[in-house]
């Protein structure tokens, strides 16, 4: 039986999001099929620097050690975000931080993290995650970083990261990246950064997709637009939910045959598209190894099971896996 990384060795790296628990439970599957790891949570700001100046790298370092033992590379995720970020970063003692203090917190965090990992096999870092507003006229969403520092917090993050590690490829990462309205906004932001000479090297397409949405044409358009800026692309957090986003049903104890068939068709079409653009796409990361565990079991409906991955709850290959690996 072919493995994912074998099947794709002439196209792109095949990544998976992991945490210490999944490495323990699904380690064999992960070693067998993947050659790139992204920490699902353990390199986010609240995990790495929960208190000012107190860095907690232990869990994250276990992921790095696993990667090295198994000849894998890593994508860092994420230096700056509005979620999973400790409150102290936006404070100065009891008061709200000034622009200068917030910038200092951001800079020191970025420097410490990139410095800590400077000798490890990372091939990219998400510098900043999800800053675009999903709807409305504003380009950027509300975020404490933005309200304290101002809109230039985005470029500052890239500048701090580049100064800390001049050789590290730096990424902007977002979801709904293929929806026309948001796609245009992401394009505008990234183009603006490029035009200003800000050090940005790639765009991450999260690819939290479904059975119906987004359309292949919209995904193709996103790939073409971002690639037209001369940037590399990573598919960073792929999963294919069996529920539409509006569907809040909780009564399914297993997926229907229809769902699994449709999912396999979608995965097949997505990977075919990725192969077509492999000149631009450096890696494709799945946001979990199998249906046994994945974040969609809790999102957007808490406790509802989902079956979005290439392997089933017993870590066995699904129809989706077979379709994705049988193109030769």
Which residues carry out catalysis?
A: 130, 237
CB closer to ligand XIL, 101 vs 214: 214
- From 231, 84, 114, 252, select the one nearest 171 (Cα to Cα): 231
Cβ–Cβ < 8 Å for 110, 79: yes
Q: How far is the CB of 19 from ligand XIL (least distance, A)?
A: 8
Query: Could you tell me if 59 and 42 are in contact, meaning their C-beta atoms sit under 8 angstroms apart?
Result: yes
The residues binding ligand XIL (CB under 6 A) are 40-41, 129, 175, 206, 237, 295
The separation between the first and the last C-alpha atoms of the chain, rounded to the nearest angstrom, is 13
Residue 172 or 175: the one with the smaller Cβ distance to ligand XIL is 175
Q: Which two tokens stand for residue 184?
A: 């245009």
In whole angstroms, how close is the CB of 328 to ligand XIL at the nearest point? 32
Among all chains, which residue has been given the structure tokens 């599957």? 29
Residue nearest to ligand XIL (CB): 295
Minimum CB separation of residue 41 from ligand XIL in Å reads: 5
Q: Which residue, 135 or 258, has its beta carbon nearer to ligand XIL?
A: 135
Task: Kindly state the smallest distance separating residue 7's Cβ from ligand XIL, in Å.
Answer: 25
Nearest to 177 by CA among 212, 222, 113: 222
Q: Is 36 exposed, middle or buried (0-12, 13-18, 19+ CB in 10 A)?
A: buried
Burial per residue of 98-117, b for 16 or more beta-carbon CB atoms within 10 angstroms, e otherwise: eeebbbebbbbbbbbbbeeb
Structure tokens at 83: 């979620």
Nearer to ligand XIL, 84 or 326 (CB): 84
How far is 203 from 188, CA to CA, in rounded Å?
12
């Amino acid at each position: 039986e072919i493995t994912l990384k074998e099947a794709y060795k002439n196209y792109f790296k095949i990544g998976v999001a992991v945490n210490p628990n999944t490495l323990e439970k699904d380690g064999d599957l992960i070693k067998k099929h993947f050659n790139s790891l992204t920490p699902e949570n353990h390199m986010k700001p609240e995990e790495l620097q929960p208190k000012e100046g107190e860095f907690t790298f232990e869990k994250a370092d276990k992921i790095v050690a696993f990667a090295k033992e198994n000849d894998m590379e890593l994508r860092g995720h994420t230096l700056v975000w509005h979620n999973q970020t400790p409150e102290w970063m936006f404070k100065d003692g009891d008061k709200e931080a000034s622009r200068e203090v917030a910038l200092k917190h951001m800079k020191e965090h970025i420097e410490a993290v990139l410095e800590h990992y400077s000798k490890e096999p990372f091939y990219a870092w998400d510098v900043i995650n999800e800053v675009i507003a999903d709807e409305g006229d504003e380009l950027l969403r509300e975020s404490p970083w933005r309200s304290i520092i101002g809109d230039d917090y985005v470029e500052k993050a890239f500048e701090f990261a580049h100064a800390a590690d001049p050789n590290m490829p730096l990424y902007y990462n977002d979801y709904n990246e293929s929806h026309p309205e948001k796609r245009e906004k992401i394009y505008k932001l990234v183009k603006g950064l490029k035009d200003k000479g800000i050090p940005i090297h790639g765009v991450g397409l999260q690819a939290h997709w479904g059975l119906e949405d987004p359309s292949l044409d919209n995904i193709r358009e996103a790939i073409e637009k971002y690639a037209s800026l001369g940037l590399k692309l990573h598919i960073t957090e792929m999963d294919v939910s069996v529920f539409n986003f509006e569907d809040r049903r909780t009564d399914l104890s297993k997926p229907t045959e229809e769902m699994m068939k449709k999912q396999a068709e979608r995965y097949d079409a997505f990977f075919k598209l990725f192969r077509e653009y492999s000149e631009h796409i450096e890696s494709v990361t799945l946001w979990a190894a199998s249906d046994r565990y994945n974040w969609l079991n809790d999102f957007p409906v808490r406790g509802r099971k989902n079956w979005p991955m290439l392997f089933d709850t017993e870590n066995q290959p699904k129809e989706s896996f077979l379709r994705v690996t049988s193109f030769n």
